[in-house]
Structure 1
Amino acid sequence: MTFSIRLALWGVVLGLCGCAGGRAPGQPGAPALWTPANKDGFGTARSAESWVWYTLGSGDLTEVYYPDLGTPSVRGLRFIVVSGHSVTEFESEATEHHVELVDPRSLVYRQVNTARSGGYRLTKTYAIDPERNTLLVDIQFESLDRRPYEVYAVYDPSLSNNGMDDSGRTEGDVLLAWDGATASALISQPPFERTSNGYLGASDGWADLHQDHAMDWTYRSAPDGNVVQTAKLPVGAPGTMGHVTIALGFGATLTEALGAARGSLRPGFEQVAQRYMEGWHGWLDSLPPAPASAQPWQVTYDVSAMVLAASEDKANPGAFIASPSMPWAWGLGELEKPSGAYHLVWSRDLYQIATALLALGDRAAAERALDHLFQVQQRSDGSFPQNATVDGTPHWSNLQLDEVALPIVLAWQLGRADRETYTGHVQKAADFLLAHGPVTPQDRWENQSGYSPGTIAAEIAGLICAADLARRNGDTASAERYEATADAWQRQVEAWTVTTHGPLASHPYYLRLTKDGNPNAGTAYSLGDGGPSAMDQRRVVDSSFLELVRLGVKPAGEPLIAQSLAVVDAQLRVDTPNGTYWRRYDSDGYGETPEGEPWDISEPDTGRTLGRAWPIFAGERGEYALTVGQPAEPWLAAMARSGNDGYLLPEQVWDGRPPSGQPGFETGEGTLSATPLTWSHAQFIRLAWSIQAGFPVEQPSVVACRYTPTCRR
């Protein structure tokens, strides 16, 4: 059911009459849900003074984050177009729309929505004021058929990550909204002609205009509910190109929010946008030029770099989130109230981001990431939470041992051999691995415990890196303990995770994991995330064993690696018009249903949802290709081609199974999964620099020199 139909039905059910007045009826309104996660635009100012981030999707402004990247405070800003007294429509639903990157070296996006009827075009360009907490939207409305139109802005605040407790009111031509901690102000130049405050589906602008194609309601206030504010724009005259600038300002108080909005309107959109672009230009200019391998994909490379930088919270330096989105059940209020999951900080994802930032030349950002991990996230026992909010508060408290090991590897890569880092952080993490490894309570897909070759690879690399840092600090005894344990695990990993008579091949191959350390046992387990409730562990493979090669724990040329890749390809490989990708593991359920409906954790282990193919695996395969002397450029190209019109890389792409092939669900294009996924952008950047170097640039040489014939110091 479309958004507009839901609103219409709410209005009918409540039976509300249209009238002007003081307080809007229909409190609290329909439930507040977040928008789809497949964003095609994302931006923030490069400056530290502005704490606003915006996202775009399907022709609309979607979530806006303020005052940090863990706090969505806006659900969306949409526009309703009324033609005469007969047609009222949301412009994004009634138009063909596309997004443009206005400047390939800054995160300035433009949405161009042209009515399928041929009657009008609405063009919206977005920029953040680098000096204030304001989003500016430059709007041009064209009447293409010389008929008169009316255009209305429909603003849905969800302040402080909760859309059900906002209040709104009109003051003059200004729309103000607030809750207990945050306020917003929506104003325009020229000023709005008419305004109203209401509740979603009950007394909002759509419920009003849909009745008789006229704005009859002008409610001055709507306290404590799912507030939606409506304003008539001074555009739409026949045969004209109307122009208006909207300012959406934020603050801790109404005064701050209104001051920000007015302050940004004074210089005008062009000046603010120019300063916004200059901030990104300056940062890109401070970096080395893109490597030759990325030059065919220069815009994707620059956008990837900027997405990584934009994903760092400004109030909490070094806290880079996984994605500014809430896919599937995470956005429907079924799992997180307030929202969570993807706009959290994972130690694993932060390692991926930091190594990419180090590769592209922003060492300072990688250092901030490590500082955040060690000084903010790390627990007193040396471990790290599964994930945390941007201020370091643990969100999910599960334990994943690769997330304990990878910060050690990052510390080694950054050369952080000082005594405070070693004794206060590295040593604690390494000792935790000794006490709790190699069996992990959760692997890198976060839903299984056991002996995981990918996790064990990270543990071994972490211990060897810790041993090197220990020796630099004169702690020979610890170094020897770390090395002895790492060596034992390196020798034993195959016995724990390689089946010699599994049903998927006549030769040995790595499993995703074993529950019991016995890879020849047909131990069954529930896959979780909507997958089957009982699978023989010998039938479940993934490509995580490639971490053994990437981190230097096993030689790339081992026959077992190639044999295992053959099994992975037979089970998980997906060839698409955009390139080759892989699914996570057999019978993965983390994705949409066959009909394209959202993944839903409320129905676990049903097999109804299908995890599709992930672009990051093309990047990981490219890193492996380099280690065996094969070209990796095709894998870089596959990653780039998975991007959308805004050059944002997705978590998953449609893989040929339903609903692929239906309009809007093309094989090889992004699904409704998290987009942009910072891990995808980090993998793209890192592979580009690895191609330049001829080997995986994040491979710790101290590990590779111990276990493989290849030794680069």
Structure 2
Amino acid sequence: MTSLVVVLLASVLTVPGPPATYAPADKQGFGTARQATSPVWFTLGRTGPTEVFYPDLSTPATRDLRLVVDGRAAEGRTEPVGRLRYRQEFRGDGWQADVTYTTDPSRPTVLADVRLRAERPVDVQVVFDPNLSRDGDDDTAVERPGALVAHDARSASALVADEPITSPTSTTGNVVQTGDLRVDGVRDRRVTLAVGFGPTAGEALATAKKSLVEGFPRHARRYDQGWEDYLGGLRRPQSADRDLYETSMMVLAATEDKAHPGAFIASPGFPWAFGFDRAIAPEFGSYALVWPRDLYQVASAMLAAGDRAAADRALDFMLDVQRQPDGHLPQNTRVDGEPHWTNVQQDEQAAPMLLAWLLGRADRSTVDALVAVAEFMVAQPDAPFTQQERWENQSGYSPGTIAAEIAGLVCLADLLHRSGDPRAAKYLAVADDWERRLEGWTVTRTGPFSPDPYYLRLTKDGRPDAATAYNPGDNHPTAIDQRAAVDPSFLELVRLGVRPHGDPVVRNTVEVVDEQLGVDRFWHRYNGDGYGERADGGPWNIGHGRTYGGLWPIFAGERGEYELLAGDVGAARRRLADIASTANAGRMLPEQVRDGRGTTSATPLAWTHAQYVRLAWSIDAGRPVARPAVVACRYAGC
């Protein structure tokens, strides 16, 4: 095979595009080097790389990089190769391109190894859309010999290839860089592209060129070895699919920012209106944020897999961002700890207490920080009322939230008790009081779904037999009776040890939830959920038509943990397989599915991968591995 020589011809075009938006959130791949010396992460869409993050995981720096052959960009088929690396195959009229991706483990550079074969010479263009510093509308393209270079006030990107690329004309705005390539698939068939980043145009260009000179094979070998070394230090469960399990562990590890230890983001994509509507997301970046709730899910899974250091870092990050004037944890933050959304969610206040107990962190610094969070929690008017429950769009008395609050306080009391700290008694007394009053706040006996009592999604007023109405939000057209909305999240009561699996209200609610929300092995979040796509597949947005929430694979994991406690290991194994069945070709697990397949929701979702890992270890252990025994022994008979 001849070496592919690529030169950008004189018809190079760099023009301001329309206002910057981001690609669909259902990524086919997500990767980064394990090495901390490479602060760059890439995602793959169906036409090639989409968002690349630099210099941290809360900062998307590109939108798109694709090949255009004979005037058309093809959708590709993705397959994993190596460790958290991918190859995409693109086909068109008489041609085929195979593109393999890696990053330079020593630098912030993404590389693509392109091999093109054609029956006849074809015309090829490269299209690159930098969106630097979370905002692509303020970029400027600059002339640099042999490269496509752009910058804004904070960072820069540079695209280079094996042979010089003719530089574009300078423009400002949403810069989209396009140029003809000399590669034709017949005479020239192979090239390596490198996209480097840096604080200035000169540094980005130097970085890309250094990576290119060292060569794609060397980077790929070091990249794979970094992930091999990481996996080699972990345990592997017997219950899980090996490939999906190892991918899940690498995805979880890859969602941690390299400059801010313990900052694991929720997902490297921006679903629906979060990627294009400035009214919904004035500053793009939603989901590339750290939620204490998601961080607990990730950390508990990594702890189960043997990565205690990651779980310790996660707890340290929670306690660092917790240091607000009133002691609470923000709803979410960027990876540097800066709060993004600012509503208060009481289950997130409990997250560090639950994680600290799992880690056995009873040192004075840790427990003092947890006491500050607990003081905030118990001092709230109408506690355990929450400003937002875990779906982030309603206030009220939520059984899932209250489960976390009770369990968190008991775990904190246990950590205090170990050192003889008398403050333990106060938090146990509050937890016991809330546990006694739980049903009075959240269980209806007059609801439409069953003559027997069942847990509600939440009550707005702590009166579960009242016909209090509220609008579920997310484009729902009418208000609903609070007694006509249930949620699988009530099973947190069982997983966290506040109620036994055989509790009659729990069993009845399982039946109600299955009837109301269950569809083909998965469940909706709650009745009337509108967080999802339109009937025609269009994106969720506010005020632009009715939307419909999809089914969430995480609920299969939560149900599997419940079934383990009920002694049905076979059912739990089936739940694990159900989660696995939602993986796409790149082994990415989605936020939501429809007809068994991932939607354009956030993919990969760290929470889904964490639930897969944790359920696998729970099956091997014969019990939910994150269930705090101190809570279960107090309320559920161990």
Does TM, scored on the shorter chain, surpass 0.5?
yes
Matching residue of 1:113: 90
Matching residue of 1:221: 170
Matching residue of 2:249: 305
Rounded Cα–Cα distance in structure 2 between residues aligned with 1:686 and 1:255: 45
Deviation at 1:122, TM superposition (A): 1.2
1:292 aligns with 2:238: yes
Task: State how 1:271-420 maps to structure 2 within 5 Å.
Answer: 271-288=218-235, 290-294=236-240, 297-334=241-278, 335-420=280-365
Distance 1:112 1:179, change over 3 A: same
1:653 aligns with 2:599: no
Contact 2:12 2:167 in 1 (8 A): no
Rounded Cα–Cα distance in structure 2 between residues aligned with 1:317 and 1:405: 21
Contact 2:47 2:73 in 1 (8 A): no
Contact 1:138 1:246 in 2 (8 A): yes
Partner SS for 1:248: strand
Rounded Cα–Cα distance in structure 1 between residues aligned with 2:110 and 2:217: 13
Contact 2:56 2:259 in 1 (8 A): yes
Matching residue of 1:594: 535
Matching residue of 1:657: none
Rounded Cα–Cα distance in structure 1 between residues aligned with 2:392 and 2:282: 21
Rounded Cα–Cα distance in structure 1 between residues aligned with 2:356 and 2:217: 43
Contact 2:116 2:185 in 1 (8 A): no
Rounded Cα–Cα distance in structure 1 between residues aligned with 2:477 and 2:257: 38
Deviation at 1:559, TM superposition (A): 1.4
Of residues 609, 622, 626 in structure 2, which corresponds to 1:694?
Answer: 622
Matching residue of 1:434: 378
Of residues 491, 494, 505 in structure 2, which corresponds to 1:546?
Answer: 491
Task: State how 1:507-586 maps to structure 2 within 5 Å.
Answer: 507-575=452-520, 580-586=521-527
The amino acid that maps onto 1:598 is P
Matching residue of 2:201: 254
CA deviation vs aligned residue, 1:527-566 (integer Å, no higher than 9, x gap): 1122243000000000111000000011111111111010
Matching residue of 2:430: 485
Partner SS for 1:385: coil
Decide which moves more: 454-463 or 332-341. Answer: 332-341
Task: State how 1:109-258 maps to structure 2 within 5 Å.
Answer: 109-115=86-92, 117=93, 119-143=94-118, 146-192=119-165, 194=166, 196=168, 220-222=169-171, 224-238=172-186, 240=187, 242-258=189-205
Rounded Cα–Cα distance in structure 2 between residues aligned with 1:673 and 1:624: 26
Decide which moves more: 228-237 or 261-270. Answer: 228-237
Identity within the alignment, %: 54
1:451 aligns with 2:426: no
Rounded Cα–Cα distance in structure 2 between residues aligned with 1:473 and 1:381: 25
1:640 aligns with 2:613: no
Decide which moves more: 38-47 or 427-436. Answer: 427-436
CA deviation vs aligned residue, 1:398-420 (integer Å, no higher than 9, x gap): 00000001111111111110111
Deviation at 1:31, TM superposition (A): 1.2
Deviation at 1:221, TM superposition (A): 1.8
Contact 1:195 1:230 in 2 (8 A): no
Deviation at 1:581, TM superposition (A): 0.7
Partner SS for 2:597: coil
Deviation at 1:622, TM superposition (A): 0.2
Partner SS for 2:533: coil
1:498 aligns with 2:443: yes
CA deviation vs aligned residue, 1:234-259 (integer Å, no higher than 9, x gap): 31153x56000001000001221111
Deviation at 1:23, TM superposition (A): 9.7
Rounded Cα–Cα distance in structure 1 between residues aligned with 2:286 and 2:384: 26
The amino acid that maps onto 1:626 is L
1:681 aligns with 2:619: no
Partner SS for 2:392: coil
Calculate the TM-score normalised by the size of structure 2: 0.96
Deviation at 1:611, TM superposition (A): 0.1
Contact 2:11 2:179 in 1 (8 A): no
Distance 1:148 1:73, change over 3 A: same
1:65 aligns with 2:56: no
Contact 2:12 2:178 in 1 (8 A): no
Contact 1:542 1:585 in 2 (8 A): yes
1:610 aligns with 2:557: no
CA deviation vs aligned residue, 1:305-364 (integer Å, no higher than 9, x gap): 000000001111100000000000000133223212200110100000000110111000
CA deviation vs aligned residue, 1:608-628 (integer Å, no higher than 9, x gap): 100010000000000000011
The amino acid that maps onto 1:493 is L
Matching residue of 1:89: 72
Partner SS for 2:593: coil
Rounded Cα–Cα distance in structure 2 between residues aligned with 1:429 and 1:81: 57
The amino acid that maps onto 1:266 is V
Rounded Cα–Cα distance in structure 2 between residues aligned with 1:676 and 1:602: 27
**Across the two proteins, how many residue pairs are aligned to each other?**
625
Contact 2:468 2:481 in 1 (8 A): yes
Partner SS for 2:26: coil
Contact 1:190 1:234 in 2 (8 A): no
Contact 1:234 1:242 in 2 (8 A): no
Partner SS for 2:270: coil
Distance 1:325 1:377, change over 3 A: farther
The amino acid that maps onto 1:256 is E
The amino acid that maps onto 1:446 is E
Matching residue of 2:5: none
Matching residue of 1:12: none
Rounded Cα–Cα distance in structure 1 between residues aligned with 2:611 and 2:376: 28
Rounded Cα–Cα distance in structure 2 between residues aligned with 1:348 and 1:378: 17
Distance 1:237 1:400, change over 3 A: closer
Of residues 402, 407, 421 in structure 2, which corresponds to 1:475?
Answer: 421
Deviation at 1:20, TM superposition (A): 7.2
1:46 aligns with 2:34: yes
Runs of 4+ in 1 over 4 A off after TM superposition: 19-24
Rounded Cα–Cα distance in structure 1 between residues aligned with 2:179 and 2:384: 59
CA deviation vs aligned residue, 1:164-217 (integer Å, no higher than 9, x gap): 11111332211111000101111001333x454xxxxxxxxxxxxxxxxxxxxx
CA deviation vs aligned residue, 1:596-645 (integer Å, no higher than 9, x gap): 00000234xx6x10001000000000000001101210000000001100
Distance 1:573 1:22, change over 3 A: closer
Please list every run of 5 or more consecutive structure 2 residues that lacks an aligned counterpart in the other structure: 1-8
Contact 1:328 1:673 in 2 (8 A): yes
Rounded Cα–Cα distance in structure 2 between residues aligned with 1:178 and 1:480: 58
Rounded Cα–Cα distance in structure 1 between residues aligned with 2:81 and 2:10: 41
Matching residue of 1:85: none
Deviation at 1:22, TM superposition (A): 11
Distance 1:340 1:31, change over 3 A: same
Distance 1:492 1:168, change over 3 A: same
Contact 2:345 2:387 in 1 (8 A): yes
The amino acid that maps onto 2:74 is E
Partner SS for 2:531: coil
Partner SS for 1:170: strand
Partner SS for 1:493: helix
The amino acid that maps onto 1:274 is R
Contact 2:561 2:623 in 1 (8 A): yes
Calculate the TM-score normalised by the size of structure 1: 0.86
Rounded Cα–Cα distance in structure 2 between residues aligned with 1:276 and 1:237: 28
Matching residue of 1:625: 563
